[in-house]
Amino acid sequence: MSEPRPVAISTLGERLSVLRVCDAAPLASMRRSLERHGQLTPITLFVQGDQLEVLDGFKRVRAARALGWRELLACVEDVSAVEAKLRLRELHGGRGLTELEEAWLVRSLYREDGMSLPQIGIAFGRHKSWVWRRLMLAEALDPIVQGDVRLGVLAPRAAVAVSRLPRGNQQAASAVVVRRGLTVRQTDLLVEELLVERDPALREALLARRLEGPAPATPPGPRPSRAVRSEADWMSADVLRVRDLAGRLEARLYATPLDVLTPAAAELLRDALVRLVPVLRALERVIISAAHIEDVA
């Protein structure tokens, strides 16, 4: 790596920025830091063709540009484009890239640089099945939804949840998440609700209903990572947990009737199931009352 030297910000390329999430809060924090303390550490660059490209320091470059700075101290690494992308992952090993950023990086190495999935797996120290899942995430997610994430409008984990939906529903689901200001857990619940509905027309109608009404006062976008969970978050998490447990128990009871168990085990389980019935009935009554459900099929 070269010694730090002043570099004109206007000459810097940001091709690798498409592999990163732009989060407004850290960017604002970086801008305040530059205003108060100046540049504390140099940015890292590499050469691609005749262009100096940013490898590490995207927030510093953007914050400095917003402040009207003309130069930043920079070190230049002698690496290729592929090595720079792999270095990008190493540089963020402490905080870690998000799942979606890893997916973007895998797709870039696979589609643009011609690396095979086993080669990427070896470079990342991961099994090729992990690489395949990341590639499928980047390929399955609607480009407009990915743009929402890059702009910092949609949380990466919420986008991962949305990626489980058919492509035709992803933009509308993302719009619901952004407009309603849904948390990641609430997004999971929305996706589960949509996946249960098999009819595409009814799924679209459900999304349209979710978009109706005035937008919440809280501005949309990813929540701070250390934000305190709201009561709605806890209830959303409980709904998902109960649904998962109920589905698992139903499948097990169908697959393994009590009669095939030993008499002692069958007796204990039967007693536990009998005690569970009034609990579920009480929960059903509360759900009907809270959700104002007039008829339950």
In terms of domains, do 184 and 214 share one? yes
Q: Given this model, what pLDDT does residue 226 score? A: 44
In a domain, 141, yes or no: no
Determine, yes or no, domain membership for 87: no
Assess contact for 77 and 46: CB atoms under 8 A.
yes
Buried b or exposed e, range 53-67, using 16+ CB within 10 angstroms:
bbbbbbbbbbbbeee
Query: 194 lies in a domain?
Result: yes
Range of the domain at 268: 256-297
In the prediction, which pLDDT does 69 show? Answer: 93
Beta-carbon contacts of 159 under 8 Å, excluding residues fewer than 6 positions away, are 100, 141, 145, 146, 148, 149, 174
For the chain, the first-to-last Cα distance in angstroms comes to: 68
Residues 170 and 224 in one domain: yes
Q: Are 209 and 269 within one domain?
A: no
The pLDDT, as a whole number, for residue 228 is 47
In a domain, 48, yes or no: yes
Same domain, 161 and 251: yes
Domain final position from 80, 111, 143:
80
190 plus 277 within the same structural domain: no
pLDDT of res. 28: 87
* Position 197 in a domain: yes
Residue finishing a domain among 80, 97, 114: 80
178 is a domain residue: yes
Tokens encoding 45 = 């660059």
Both 176 and 194 in one domain: the answer is yes
In a domain, 286, yes or no: yes
Separation of CA 121 from chain center: 21
Mean pLDDT split into 10-residue runs, the chain, 297 residues:
88 90 82 92 92 92 92 93 88 74 94 94 91 94 90 89 93 91 90 89 89 59 50 69 72 74 75 82 81 66
Tally of domains within the chain: 3
Which CATH number is 16's domain given?
3.90.1530.10
Domain boundary among 80, 114, 129: 80
Do residues 185 and 237 lie in contact, with contact meaning Cβ atoms separated by under 8 Å? yes
Whether residues 194 and 284 share a domain: the answer is: no
Do residue 234 and residue 294 come from a single domain?
A: no
Examine residue 34 and state whether it is found in any structural domain, yes or no: yes
**249 and 275 together in one domain:** no
